Amino acid sequence: MTEEEFRAVRGRMERMREGNRRHQREMRRLAVMYVRAVTDGLTEADRVELDGAEAPSFAAMRERAEASRLEHAARRRRAERETASRERIHGALRDVYGLDAADAWVR
């Protein structure tokens, strides 16, 4: 049984499990095929690959979390630099033109 056939069988089983009672015999037949594919129809390498495809990849989740954390840190640094620049410009304008004019310029 190829991986595509295995996934097709599994998908059909999932659809059948949703409650269509007319297909109970088909469900039993598919269950036998599923067990056969899992136990002796696939090589150990195929089973490991399928298990990896089905299970969540914690390494990938960690990488995504780290990328998200780095992106968030970069956005915070950029926002802090923008705020510091805005305050510096506002301070310089306030010193030269006064508070009301500086507020109007920075808005």
71 and 47 in a common domain: no
More confident: 69 or 25: 69
13 and 39 in a common domain: yes
Name residues whose C-beta falls within 8 Å of residue 12's C-beta, 6 or more positions apart in sequence.
26, 30
Q: Which tokens hold the place of 6? A: 């295995």
Number of domains the chain is built from = 2
pLDDT confidence of 107, banded at 50, 70, 90? confident
* Share of residues in the chain with pLDDT > 90 (%): 35
pLDDT tens figures, 36-81: 676 766 666 655 655 655 555 677 778 888 999 999 999 999 999 9
90 and 74 in a common domain: yes
27 and 11 in a common domain: yes
pTM for this prediction: 0.42
Average pLDDT over residues 94-104: 92
* pLDDT confidence of residue 33: 65
Contact between residue 6 and residue 37 where contact means Cβ atoms under 8 Å apart? yes
